[in-house]
Amino acid sequence: MSFVDTMLSALSSFEMNYTVLLLIAVTIPGLIIFLIMTVNAIVMVYMERKISAFMQDRLGPMEVGLFGFKGGKRFWGGIGQTIADAIKLLAKEDIIPKNADRFMMMLAPFIIFIASFLTFVGVPLSENFLISNFNIGILYILAMSSVGVIGIILAGWSSNNKWSLYGAMRAAAQIISYEIPIALTLLLPVIISGGLDVHTIVDWQLQNRWLILHSPFTFIAFFIFFISGIAETNRTPFDIPEAESELVAGWMTEYSGFRWSLFFLSEYTNMLIISLVASFVFLGGWGSPLTIINLIPGDYMYLDGPVWGLFWLLFKAIVLIFIMMWFRWTFPRLRVDQLMYLCWKVFIPFAIFNMLAVGIWEVLF
Amino acid sequence: MREYFSNIVGGIQSFWKGLSLTFKHIKNKKDLVATLQYPNEKWPIPERNIGFNLSEYNVIKSKLHVDMDDCIGCLMCERACPVDCIKIDIIKPPKDSGFDCGKTSFGTQKKLVVPRFTIDMSECMYCNLCVYPCPEECIYMVGGPNEDKHEIDYEFSQYTRDGLIFEFADVTDEDILTVGGGEYIKNREEKKRRIEEGKSLNGKEILPVINKQSEEGTATTSKAPSNKPDFSVVNEIEDRVTRATAKKAFTLKFKEKASFQEISDYVKLTLEENGKYTSDLDDIIKRISEMTTSDAADSKDPESTLAGEEITHKSFNDLENKMQRGIVKKIFIGEKKKGLGDLDILKTIRVELKTKEMLDDQAKELLKKLMLQSVKPKKAPKTQSDIFDLKQLNGIEDKMTRGLAKKTYTKSKRDGKKSADILADIEKELQSSEKLTDDVVAVISVIRESI
């Protein structure tokens, strides 16, 4: 049962025109997704700034408060900083260079934004909070997450700037390369659970065990998936498309104001999507982690259920996002050749071997 | 093959090593964070040590300080200051007041009250010259030989530039009043108000607005025919297109020298033709029909032809240079025939004289005088006689309140308001400054009844 279906059945009692009904049933989830994206970006930016500051023995934003509340005096201050930054971004001038391809440059951010927006449609937040329940769920997520590359190339090309173009080329090369290990690792859950559907995969994990603990091969697959996912979102250490020290800001160089904030928004949304996918494919989805420990028998102690499901899934996602940030502020940027080495010579062979091994494992056990 | 796997193992190891290093930092952030949140936290000042102990070498000059108890108000330091950063006001108590100013720590009897002793530390250049003349040794630099008296404030940074002006005087307003400093307080408040007023302008300059009415008045007194249609009524139409249509019709008929009744009919017709006519415009059209030509209006008003304010070619008879006088008169009469306003004519004369290099001081003075005369708004003696006397406000006891009330009175009077309005203004002003006590209300109500 997806969210749109629930909306439709709830609204059908009003005896409206079916077109209007469908429009309402699609608009409301759309707004909810947008709200989630915005709140996610605001919270994640604050989290990122704080974590990076603490890792570098700084304090991060400390001055801007929210509703008169400044946060802790010593460490968790400045909670209004990202909101102030967001307002500042929206108020900035929207600059488009004279020699840029105007139409394409204006279009590109929206393509990137829509790509991450559409990906979100297939990503569950809880057992019943899945905007649209495709029976090819994972395939849909994979397909939609690669739409963003078009926007990136468009942005880089239309900016008419060498850094933008270099950044876009690198981004395209990187994202297309890392699609392969992601697809190969996402095949393992499909082989094991026997379905592409989100519910099938998670239900299998809830009945048996988390996929990360299923076999040594799925354990390795999780890391391959997660690291490739970081590369997909163009974050450090895989941030050669926007390497500040070489390319200014890569394909975002010529953008400012609202359009740049769309890039920003979709980047942080992609982070959330990768973390959510990793948690529902490998980490038991909306199931409570307490079932693994299994100290006290009895279902009611595991804090399972629709609301707890939302909490557990978001909790897992946030832990993964923290790990992403941890990576970012720990590792230096990879060189282009190192990046390709990691993808083509390490991840893909291992992923193929994993697939084979999991096939045999499934036949044997 | 072996290298390949050892690379992977090495990669994972270094991966883990790096992560654990950064996690150590985030775990121990309380001890490791090096940031000092400056205005809230400060480093302790290290103890001063120049290696040996000799008072001559201890020459710290942190900031000027005045021990106000010892100050006798002799102004010696103010005079000594080369940059005038010290400002002192003094009041001498009258002999019969019996006010005791106190004694200094040297035992000198103080004879003056010091209501203001400010030192602007942003101007001070630390020359120390004010310190030597002080007979009571009450002004000195903090630090150095005086380091025991005060703790040295190394930053004394402020959020505004005004913050660096330090006020040392500690006399209360009550004391100032008892020694007869009412005038002083009044001046001080006035100065404060004017500074506030200046701040609210935000650096903009308000140009004196030339009273349009008076300009027209002077123009008509000189019997110049006014060819310009008066749009003041038509301008009240809000819709832009309608207004333009109405103006067009108005001008057309006006140029034909039609009467205002005809004009109004024509305007109405035009508006109806264009489909812009609504019942809201009835009032405006009626008012157009009731308008009179400015010439007729002026002939009815004898006061507008006050002899003293009229500018004719005879006004220039004061000029001594014959040539100059001739030129000026010629220009004046010529321009007047063109129907220009006095101010414009005077300006032309000025420009003309300047080009002929005949603009001497006398001509300048005269032109300035005449310009002022032409711009000055006409006084309306009728309304003035209606206004109650200023002395009636003397019933207010509190000095400050009375001052404020009188100020408002003069201001409103200048604006040409009636008695009732002036009283309302006074009440409003006092209310806003929270001085409207019951006594004042009583006084005002008495005045109101007497009108």
Q: Which sequence spans correspond to the domains of chain B?
A: 2-32, 58-197, 381-450
pLDDT tens, B132-149?
Answer: 998 888 898 887 777 778
Nearest CA in chain B to A324: B19
Instruction: Pick the residue of A50, A56, A75 with the most B CBs within 10 A to test the interface with B by mutation.
Output: A56
β-partners of residue B118 are B87, B167
C-alpha pair distances (Å), A104 with each of A156, A249, A258, B126: 10, 19, 16, 64
pLDDT in tens, B171-181: 888 888 888 77
**Residue-wise pLDDT tens digits, B65-117:** 888 888 888 899 999 999 999 999 888 888 777 778 888 888 888 888 888 89
Nearest CA in chain A to B8: A346
Alpha carbons A347 and A357: distance in angstroms, whole number: 15
Q: From CA A54, how far away is CA A330, in angstroms rounded?
A: 12
Q: Is the residue at A76 inside a domain?
A: no
Q: Could you give phi then psi for residue B409, rounded to 5 degrees?
A: -55, -50
Q: Which of B426, B416, B430, B417 is nearest to B447 (CA)?
A: B426
Q: Do B19 and A58 touch (CB under 8 A)?
A: no
A351: confidence class by pLDDT, cuts 50, 70, 90: very high
- The mean pLDDT of chain A is 85
Query: With contact defined as beta carbons under 8 Å apart, do A58 and A91 qualify?
Result: no
List the single residue in B8, B22, B37 with the smallest CB-CB distance to A62: B37
Q: Which residues contact A20 (CB under 8 A, 6 or more apart)?
A: none
From the list B4, B19, B33, which residue is nearest A57 (CB)? B33
Give residue B221's pLDDT: 46
Q: How many CA atoms lie within 13 A of B282 on its CB side?
A: 3
DSSP state at residue A123:
S
Cross-chain residue pair A58–B22, CB shorter than 8 Å: no
Beta bridge partners of B117: B88
CA B406 to CA B444: how far, in whole Å? 12
- Asked whether residue B188 carries a pLDDT value surpassing 80, the answer given is yes
**What CATH number does the domain located at B58-197 have?**
3.30.70.20
Q: How many domains does chain A have?
A: 1
Identify the CA nearest to A43 among candidates A20, A66, A11.
A66
Give the other-Cβ count within 10 Å of A219's Cβ: 14
Average pLDDT, chain B: 77
Residue B33 to chain A, least CA–CA distance (Å): 4
Query: Would residue A88 count as lying in a domain?
Result: no
Confidence of residue B203 (pLDDT cuts 50, 70, 90): confident
Residues in B touching A62 (Cβ below 8 Å): 37
What's the ipTM? 0.79
Task: Encode pLDDT of A294-334 as tens digits.
Answer: 655 555 556 677 788 888 888 999 999 999 999 988 988 88
Q: How many Å apart are CA B214 and CA A335, to the nearest integer?
A: 82
Instruction: Report the distance separating Cα A111 and Cα A101, nearest Å.
Output: 16
Question: What is the rounded distance in angstroms from the CA atom of residue A158 to the CA atom of residue A252?
Answer: 11
Counted residue by residue, chain B has a size of 451
**B441 to B434, B435, B437, B445: CA distances (angstroms):** 12, 10, 6, 6
Which residues share a beta bridge with B89?
B116
Domain presence at residue A15: no
* pLDDT at residue B308 in the model: 47
CB contact under 8 A, A55 and B22: yes
Nearest chain B alpha carbon to A227: B15
Residue-wise pLDDT for B249-273, tens only, equals 787 777 777 777 777 788 888 887 7
Higher pLDDT among residues B166 and B380, named by residue: B166
Q: Is residue B29 less than 8 Å (CB to CB) from chain A?
A: yes
Question: Cα torsion at B29, B32, B35, B41 (round to 10°)?
Answer: 90
Using only the alpha carbons of chain B, give its radius of gyration.
Answer: 38
Statement: residue B317 has pLDDT above 70: yes
* Per-residue confidence (pLDDT) for residue B52, from 0 to 100: 67
Nearest to A54 among B19, B26, B40 (CB): B26
Q: A59, B30: Cβ pair inside 8 Å?
A: no
Q: Does A344 touch chain B (CB under 8 A)?
A: no
**pLDDT tens-digit map of A222-266:** 999 999 999 888 888 888 888 778 888 888 888 888 888 888 888
Choose the weakest-confidence range: A147-161, A233-247, A336-350, B367-381: B367-381
- β-strand partners of A77: A71
Query: Where in the sequence is the domain holding A148, given as residue range(s)?
Result: 98-364
- What does each C-alpha distance from B5 to A355, B1, B8, B9 come to in angstroms? 19, 7, 5, 6
Of the partner residues B15, B26, B34, the one whose CB lies closest to the CB of residue A55: B26
| DSSP 8-state class, residue B379 | P
Integer CA distances (angstroms), B429 to B187, B390, B440, in order: 19, 16, 12
Would you place residue A275 in the very low, low, confident or very high pLDDT band (cuts 50, 70, 90)? very high
**Looking at the domain assignment, is residue A47 inside a domain?**
no
8 Å CB contact of B22 and A326: yes
Question: Taking the CB of residue B148, how many other CB atoms lie within 10 A of it?
Answer: 6
Confidence band of B302 (pLDDT split at 50, 70, 90):
very low
Residue of A nearest to B32 (CA): A57
Contacts made by residues B29-36, CB under 8 angstroms, sequence distance 24+: B29/A54, B29/A57, B29/A75, B30/A74, B30/A75, B32/A57, B33/A54, B33/A57, B33/A58, B33/A59, B33/A75, B34/A57, B34/A58, B35/A57, B35/A58, B35/A59
Of A56, A73, A330, the CB nearest to B18: A330
Q: Does A219 touch chain B (CB under 8 A)?
A: no
